[in-house]
Amino acid sequence: MKKSLLLLLCLLLLPSICWGLGPFLNLGGSWTPANPTGSGVRPAHWFKADGGTNCQFTTGASVYALADGDVVGWATQYGTVAISGVSNPTTANKPILRTNVKNGKPVWRFNSTANILQSGVIATLAQPFTVFAVAAEDATQIADGAYRLILSSFLGTNDMEVGKSNGNNFYMYGGTALSDGAMNANWTIWTTVFNGLSSGMYLSGVLAISGQAGAANIQCITIGGYKTGSFLFKGDIAEILIYPGALSTADKNQVGQYLSKKYAITYTNIP
């Protein structure tokens, strides 16, 4: 009798136990990019305009970019690899926060004149790695025949870039340039895998580029342009995630669907 009662109690408690473990088991719809993917991989770097007090601006260590029009700098970030802060010190050279832009979410708005966010040297992230970005380029620059970078990393001869090429195509570079497809002003979920010969870029789940992209690592991070202040982006960037490793198809789709729901962007599962 006691054994039967104990078994019944365990069965009754099992759903609650599983639900409580949901963030770790991916049950109960509680998954976020900060929790392990199917491969158990956490993001090394995760920047987002709705990060609240994780996005400081330049007037002091306790004054945060929360209101529309606030200047944005980095204080801390979500992710497993620490960054050393913003090396671009002037307010004029930082993007601004715009609230309620995409599906009610804020964005960082870059003006292509001087706006970048830039870290110092960070712990090296070697290939393979997978980059996600949620961004929309301003329509005035889609066909301007210039490189416009959403994200880059440069130290010495190590150079990684994601954005638009001078041929107005979607573009990735890790020592070798890959580009294809005409750039547009649509909000897009960029999924870019840097993995030597097996590199590629997916636009909201649809493969646009594949091939050899070189072997560059990440040793610093610049959002909205290039480290030297060139190749500047004009438009809105809402979120960037960088995962160590070439994520599985299931994991890429898991992140893609999360971003799709958050920003109301149509996403097609990678087959």
Strands 169-173 and 158-164: antiparallel
Distance separating alpha carbons of residues 221 and 159, to the nearest angstrom: 11
Digit-coded pLDDT (tens) for 59-72: 555 678 889 998 88
User: Cβ(70)–Cβ(57) under 8 Å?
Assistant: yes
Answer yes or no: are the C-beta atoms of 112 and 93 closer than 8 Å.
no
The least confident of 6-20, 120-134, 146-160, 177-191 is 6-20
**CA separation for the pair 65, 122 (Å, rounded):** 23
Does residue 106 carry a pLDDT above 90? yes
Q: Which residues pair with 104 in a beta bridge?
A: none
**What are 96's strand-pairing partners?**
71, 109
The band of 252, judged by pLDDT with boundaries at 50, 70 and 90, is very high
What is the C-alpha to C-alpha distance for residues 41 and 51, in angstroms, rounded to an integer? Answer: 21
Question: What is the mean pLDDT of the segment spanning 97-116?
Answer: 92
pLDDT > 70? residue 23? no
Better-scored residue on pLDDT, 96 or 7: 96
94 — pLDDT class (breaks 50, 70, 90): confident
State the span(s) of the chain assigned CATH 2.60.120.200: 31-263
Q: Does residue 32 or residue 215 have the better pLDDT?
A: 215
**CATH architecture, range 31-263:** Sandwich (2.60)
- The shares of helix, strand and coil residues in the chain, as percent rounded to the nearest 5, are 20, 35, 45
